[in-house]
Structure 1
């Protein structure tokens, strides 16, 4: 009797195969679902961001074209008006006013139009309530337009009489004899109803949280959904800086208020303005969350049905599901070799096998990519310092003789200071290409840090390494580089010897030789004195 009770107790402690299978399949399906959700989330995120950026860029391009055409029409209107006033000196004030009124109302391009003669006297202005008729011009923009005697578009400024923030466009007036008689100028009131409001005021992008703004060539906002920001200097904004530099494009950005945005930006050729269309990145995440919720909603019912089938057919499905569970349990602990694909007689088991296989394949690709990234310098594509140290440790064991060349680009800081870090990066990549082209297939090139590089020359003494170093030195002098000015390199060579105690000592020797090359005037190669190997 005691023995039987002990057997029953042991049986209660064990888990039935059906229960174990159900648990394992549940874990597998949940893991697969998680992987698919993560993959779907990332894929959908990239798709939404790319689509939003492309749409914003397209919208900005269309708006840029609209503004470009608009300003060409405005310029054409002013040119025609200038021809009408070619006999300005023979016209009285009422004639001038009536023609200005007609021009302003017929086109609606400008909030106000004025005619100024060659002396700077405002002959008349429309609308009349501005009250500047008969006065002399006082603003710098008006004086500049008068002095230039050619078409002119001002930067935003506040008028002295009306205290309005305006942009001013003018066209010179010449009489029939070609004598300069002043100019006709139109003003756009940026913070009031104007031609830009009429065209862009009901922009449909507002419905999805997107909006746009227009900036002048100096980085001031000329049009914005928030009128209180019109006239604000936003030149510190990263895309506005690029517009000022004449660039077009699209990118993720953070604005001056710390908001993460997806921006498309395009220059307006006619006037040097820029159009920026932005969408809050939070809108993308809201769509992503809805997407994931939809996937979960449609996945829950099939998942529940699958569990019922697993419970009912546990014994018949034991072998394929146990195999899958064993495969999944290895993820993250060891390298997983995917078994050969095969068809299962059960549909669910077959689908799950394929899904896990796809997921593991994707994980393996990502793992391989991460391993590659960890061993490679992202700028030059050379191996990094970690890989260099591992290679040196292996070579010390495997190779009886090899040499190390330590290289440092001369006066690289001056290149960065003069041409900028972007050009400096191009110089580093240029030098990396020269290194790899000058060494043998079995040699190793590494970026050691900053502008320092190391080449490991396999099965070579210091003299052979010196020849390699000179090849690098000569090619660097001969090959056209990104700065268009001579670039030199100082190099130190050390040969591995059994008297050295460590990798660090070998690198130190090469570094001493490099230091000596620098001290000796740079642009030279020096072989380390092995007698200095003892610290």
Structure 2
């Protein structure tokens, strides 16, 4: 049996494709599920790790700055016992603190340098400090950590200072320790330990949103206050989230705030770091799945052949029998272990016996309006002719929705369709057992009321009209109808004339102001 015949796709081919599709789709779903689970796990892990890193580094940074400040306070205590301009003493103190500061200096209350170490710091004894930071240190008369600023020597630095008071408590100036942000300093000694080969790194921002530490030295001093995470951390928040940085790169970021310095610590890992493990996972799952794919396909092909063969025989018989309805032909003998095939085999004869009934049913369905579910114009003409031929007295009610074009223009054709269905249901509920409801065409409907008295049809039409006028339609407000009534045989003796009389009465209802019912006068 071929997979493809001249007349279309064979069942064997379809079943084989179905088996392959099921296996492949199952494999894809499993891979996607595994990827999603692992992706979520990796994301959660990186976010959690970076959050913990940032908190740890914030604590370490706070401890470091506390130690630096305490060392400067200890230096001021030593200076009380000696000369503030003793360069040799300051050199010794600097050597003990060089792991913390790039330079140390002593300034008096007039901001004049009394001593400095090392000599390469860029300022010298007798120089006067002019920076706003030095003025603030003098004014504070308390331990002080500055924001980054550009020094007289051209370095981008942070100043940590402690006030000097003599034995009588008189303020004499301050000791300043500097951190050169663009050179090797205590911060990058602490923070560079957390720079990983996968692209993860740590950066630090001070309270104005400027970077004071970054693995890329060119980034030091840049303003990043628009960064969403930076905004959060400088408000004193802690946490982790996925973020797009100022360079439009995606990261898993953890952040923590150091209250001692008012600095924000951000540890982040590029989102792309999870691509490698996920690619490895996909390769492993594909290689493992292929081991089972070929046996499953062979079994599927064998089952497809067994299922398709008897069905193919039945299909050929049905095709020949349909083409040659006047020629009888015995069904071929089919033996199958499948219940459905045996049942189908027994049902084929019954199916052809009932073919005529099915065709009649199809003819009936042709008389149904697709939008409203009511009988359509063909059914309407058929019923009228039948009743007239049998001399059955009845009335024809033609009704039309008032201003329906305005409904479509205002609310759209979809609401217009809902209005037509709404009216159809209402007419079916109100009309009664002796009435038949039809969609005549467009927004026009017809009701055939089997009764000798015109008044019976009038009551039916009026019930529909009044209920409709008092009911909220799909437009959100009530709609109205106009109706015309003509009766056989009182007003006409044939269908064409009866429709004309009812239509004239409907037109008169429109002329008289709509939302009313008019009975034909028979003229």
Q: TM-score range by the shorter chain?
A: 0.5 to 0.7
Residue of structure 2 equivalent to 1:498: 470
Partners of 2:475 and 2:125 lie apart in 1 by 86
Q: Secondary structure at the match of 1:271?
A: coil
Matched, 1:169 2:160: yes
Partners of 1:196 and 1:25 lie apart in 2 by 62
Residue of structure 1 equivalent to 2:187: 196
Where do residues 146-225 of structure 1 align in structure 2 (5 Å cutoff)? 146-160=138-152, 162-205=153-196, 207-225=197-215
Partners of 2:3 and 2:281 lie apart in 1 by 49
Superposed displacement of residue 209, structure 1: 1.5
Partners of 1:233 and 1:266 lie apart in 2 by 18
Residue of structure 2 equivalent to 1:114: 105
Residue of structure 2 equivalent to 1:133: 125
Q: Secondary structure at the match of 1:185?
A: strand
Mark the CA change 1:218 to 1:14 in structure 2 (over 3 Å): closer, same or farther.
Answer: closer
Mark the CA change 1:317 to 1:35 in structure 2 (over 3 Å): closer, same or farther.
Answer: farther
TM-score (normalised: structure 2): 0.56
- What is the number of equivalent residue pairs in this alignment? 321
- 1:268 pairs, out of 258, 271, 282, with 258
Q: CA RMSD in A?
A: 3.2
Mark the CA change 1:8 to 1:70 in structure 2 (over 3 Å): closer, same or farther.
Answer: closer
Superposed displacement of residue 317, structure 1: 10
Matched, 1:226 2:216: yes
**Which has the higher mean CA deviation after the structures are superposed, 187-196 or 19-28?**
19-28
TM-score (normalised: structure 1): 0.55
Superposed displacement of residue 211, structure 1: 1.3
Contact 1:169–1:185 (CA<8 Å) still a contact in 2? Answer: yes
Mark the CA change 1:120 to 1:11 in structure 2 (over 3 Å): closer, same or farther.
Answer: closer
Q: Secondary structure at the match of 2:72?
A: helix
Residue of structure 2 equivalent to 1:336: none
Superposed displacement of residue 310, structure 1: 4.1
Contact 2:202–2:215 (CA<8 Å) still a contact in 1? Answer: yes
Partners of 2:158 and 2:250 lie apart in 1 by 30
- 2:62 pairs, out of 68, 93, 117, with 68
Contact 1:118–1:182 (CA<8 Å) still a contact in 2? Answer: yes
Mark the CA change 1:136 to 1:8 in structure 2 (over 3 Å): closer, same or farther.
Answer: closer
Contact 1:172–1:184 (CA<8 Å) still a contact in 2? Answer: yes
- Deviation per residue, 1:383-426 (Å, 9 max, x gap): xxxxxx9xxx9xx99xxxxxxxxxxxxxxxxxxxxxxxxxxxxx
- Deviation per residue, 1:324-376 (Å, 9 max, x gap): xxxxxxxxxxxxxxxxxxxxxxxxxxxxxxxxxxxxxxxxxxxxxxxxxxxxx
Contact 2:211–2:219 (CA<8 Å) still a contact in 1? Answer: yes
Residue of structure 1 equivalent to 2:368: none
Matched, 1:254 2:244: yes
- 1:34 pairs, out of 4, 24, 28, with 28
- Deviation per residue, 1:510-535 (Å, 9 max, x gap): xxxxxxxxxxxxxxxxxxxxxxxxxx
Superposed displacement of residue 81, structure 1: 0.8
Superposed displacement of residue 314, structure 1: 6.3
Contact 1:310–1:317 (CA<8 Å) still a contact in 2? Answer: no
Partners of 2:2 and 2:107 lie apart in 1 by 110
Q: Secondary structure at the match of 1:23?
A: helix
Partners of 1:293 and 1:87 lie apart in 2 by 73
**Which has the higher mean CA deviation after the structures are superposed, 45-54 or 277-286?**
277-286
Matched, 1:25 2:19: yes
Residue of structure 2 equivalent to 1:284: 274
Contact 2:236–2:259 (CA<8 Å) still a contact in 1? Answer: no
Mark the CA change 1:503 to 1:71 in structure 2 (over 3 Å): closer, same or farther.
Answer: farther
Residue of structure 2 equivalent to 1:243: 233
Contact 2:192–2:202 (CA<8 Å) still a contact in 1? Answer: no
Mark the CA change 1:212 to 1:498 in structure 2 (over 3 Å): closer, same or farther.
Answer: farther
Mark the CA change 1:81 to 1:49 in structure 2 (over 3 Å): closer, same or farther.
Answer: same
Partners of 1:239 and 1:287 lie apart in 2 by 27
Contact 1:173–1:183 (CA<8 Å) still a contact in 2? Answer: yes
Q: Secondary structure at the match of 2:80?
A: coil
Partners of 1:41 and 1:274 lie apart in 2 by 34
Q: Secondary structure at the match of 2:107?
A: strand
Q: Secondary structure at the match of 1:251?
A: strand
- Deviation per residue, 1:153-175 (Å, 9 max, x gap): 11000012x10000001011112
Superposed displacement of residue 254, structure 1: 1.0
